[in-house]
Amino acid sequence: MPPKVEDTQGLNGTTDLPPTDEHHTKQNAWSAPGPAAFDFRSDVVTSPTASMLAAITNTTLLDDVFVEDPTTNDLEAHLASRTEHEAALFVLSGTMGNQLAIRAHLTQPPHSVLCDYRAHILEWEAGGVASLCGALVKGVVPKNGVYLTLEDIEKNVILGDEIHGAPTRLISLENTLAGTIMPLEEVKRISAFAKEHDIKLHLDGARIWEAVVAGAGSLPEYCSLFDSASLCFSKGLGAPVGSMLVGSKKLIKQARWVRKSIGGGLRQPGVVTAAARVALDETFGKGPNGEGGLLKQSHITAKKIANIWTELGGKLENPTETNMVWLNLEDAGSSGPEFLEVAKEHGLKILPGRGRLVVHYQISDEAVDRLEKVMKVLISRKGQNGQANKIRVGERAYG
Ligand SMILES: *Cc1c(COP(=O)(O)O)cnc(C)c1O
């Protein structure tokens, strides 16, 4: 009997493996996607890969507060070039990228930021814009129900110096938002408007990779329309840590300064920037449209999941344009907790309280098969489930 090796991924309890000694590479958390293969909660669950570990082993280990680390400097220069911006700054999270950009763009109150009412900067960043900038954030409901248009912006922007207003100094757009795409043409219109009125334009592009891979426009086409953009390595791209903020030299210098002030100056970040580079090259791909990358398949899988649901008679809350599927649980007469429970019985993880499924490149075919079974259970109980899809007052589920 070979020794039982503990399955560090917690997927199958224990795994039978050949005997290990010093000359064999022991199976560890880097060997496989592990539980990520069955996890639809978010694309943040993607596991770093063996090739990232190899890059970490070979990285440089110099100080980034002194701006001396070649791996980090190269990654910054590379992203600046690929997005057609002058400069870039590696940051610890997408939230940090957004917050530094907004803090660096804005000066002093009275001022306001315009964004979609569902925006990450408004709903999911712990009120950072208020505490760091003292700015009013105005969330706008898009008239078309999917993405903001220039007309939505024109209706809500505050121009001039009328004394009751907090003038709009920054417009922040998110792409993708809820997995849906803001078309390039719309960004062009809004960008021209912002320039005309001397308003800064920021892109929360945590998932811009997905819009690009879906064919909506290239990375430079999108990013160059903004004064700054924040792009995440640790979502669908699968890096362990980090995001990149791109912008002008002046903006990035200011952002680096603000980053230091909140304790974000990094000493040997080569450990994480080496992995981020692999995530960019291998998962997104080396071309401006994600050529050679791995994200496209997750969009095909998402469409497949959406089709299974609609063919069973289910409805969708948002269109499936990239890697997210939004099941309308209320219409299916299903409660969030019930969905969670049935998914758990089938060994799948989903977020509580909502019908959002996030597909990423490590989701397995087996997970999709199990999901189909879960959907069939939910649909078969339609009408029999008295429970409303209710989240307790004051509670929310992150996603
Ligand atoms: C995930 C995400 C972020 C940043 O999240 P972190 O957890 O701080 O890395 C920012 N914006 C959007 C739209 C996101 O989806």
pLDDT tens for 90-123 read 999 999 999 999 999 999 999 999 999 999 999 9
Query: When comparing pLDDT for 352 and 243, which is higher?
Result: 243
- pLDDT surpasses 50 at 9: no
- Which residue CA neighbors atom 4 of ligand 1 most closely? 94
Report how far ligand 1's centroid is from the alpha carbon of 365 (Å): 27
Task: Provide mean pLDDT across the span 158-162.
Answer: 95
Same domain for 205 and 97: yes
- pLDDT surpasses 60 at 4: no
Task: Provide mean pLDDT across the span 48-57.
Answer: 97
Contact 232, 82 (CB under 8 A): no
Report how far ligand 1's centroid is from the alpha carbon of 134 (Å): 21
Cα–Cα dist 325/40, whole Å: 10
Whether 21 maps to a domain, the answer reads no
pLDDT for position 387? 53
pLDDT for position 352? 81
Q: What percent of the chain has pLDDT over 90?
A: 83
Task: Provide mean pLDDT across the span 313-336.
Answer: 92
Same domain for 167 and 89: yes
14 confidence band (pLDDT: 50, 70, 90)? very low
Q: What is the pTM of this model?
A: 0.91
Report how far ligand 1's centroid is from the alpha carbon of 207 (Å): 8
- pLDDT surpasses 80 at 16: no
Task: Provide mean pLDDT across the span 250-261.
Answer: 98
Per the structure, the complete domain to which residue 335 belongs is given by 295-380
Pocket residues: Cβ below 6 A from ligand 1? 93-95, 98, 120, 174, 204, 206-207, 232, 235, 243
Whether 131 maps to a domain, the answer reads yes
372 confidence band (pLDDT: 50, 70, 90)? very high
Query: How many domains is the chain built from?
Result: 2
Same domain for 279 and 131: yes
Same domain for 156 and 207: yes
Whether 321 maps to a domain, the answer reads yes
Same domain for 273 and 332: no
Same domain for 111 and 90: yes
pLDDT for position 8? 42
- 32: three-class secondary structure by DSSP: coil
Report how far ligand 1's centroid is from the alpha carbon of 231 (Å): 9
User: Which two three-digit tokens encode residue 165?
Assistant: 């207003």
Query: When comparing pLDDT for 282 and 383, which is higher?
Result: 282
Same domain for 269 and 143: yes
Tell me the pLDDT of the chain averaged across its residues.
92
Whether 189 maps to a domain, the answer reads yes
Same domain for 338 and 214: no
CA nearest neighbour of 208 among 78, 82, 77, 318: 82
DSSP 202-214: EEEETTHHHHHHT
Query: When comparing pLDDT for 18 and 335, which is higher?
Result: 335
| Atom nearest to 234 CA in ligand 1 | 9
Task: Provide mean pLDDT across the span 345-371.
Answer: 95
336 confidence band (pLDDT: 50, 70, 90)? confident
| Atom nearest to 176 CA in ligand 1 | 13
From 52-56, 183-187, 250-254, 383-387, the region with the lowest mean pLDDT? 383-387
Task: Provide mean pLDDT across the span 230-258.
Answer: 98
SS3 content of the chain, % helix, strand, coil (to 5): 40, 15, 45
CATH assignment at residue 301: 3.90.1150.10
Task: Select from 215, 249, 284 the last residue of a domain.
Answer: 284
Task: Select from 226, 257, 284 the last residue of a domain.
Answer: 284
pLDDT for position 146? 96
- Which residue CA neighbors atom 3 of ligand 1 most closely? 94
| Atom nearest to 92 CA in ligand 1 | 9
Task: Select from 284, 315, 334 the last residue of a domain.
Answer: 284
Report how far ligand 1's centroid is from the alpha carbon of 399 (Å): 9
CA nearest neighbour of 236 among 85, 55, 363: 363
pLDDT for position 333? 86
167 confidence band (pLDDT: 50, 70, 90)? very high
Task: Provide mean pLDDT across the span 250-257.
Answer: 98
Report how far ligand 1's centroid is from the alpha carbon of 277 (Å): 19
Same domain for 259 and 303: no
Contact 116, 139 (CB under 8 A): yes
Distance, CA of 380 to chain centre:
33
Count how many Cα atoms sit within 13 Å of the Cα of residue 390 in the half-sphere of its side chain.
6
CATH assignment at residue 278: 3.40.640.10
Task: Provide mean pLDDT across the span 51-58.
Answer: 97
Whether 30 maps to a domain, the answer reads no
- pLDDT surpasses 60 at 205: yes
pLDDT for position 28? 84
- pLDDT surpasses 60 at 176: yes
Whether 26 maps to a domain, the answer reads no
Same domain for 309 and 236: no
- Ligand 1: which of 93, 118, 129, 231 to mutate, judged by most atoms within 8 Å of the beta carbon? 93
- pLDDT surpasses 70 at 22: no
- Which residue CA neighbors atom 10 of ligand 1 most closely? 94
Distance, CA of 109 to chain centre:
30
Same domain for 167 and 111: yes
Whether 4 maps to a domain, the answer reads no
Report how far ligand 1's centroid is from the alpha carbon of 218 (Å): 21
Same domain for 359 and 213: no
Cα–Cα dist 3/14, whole Å: 10
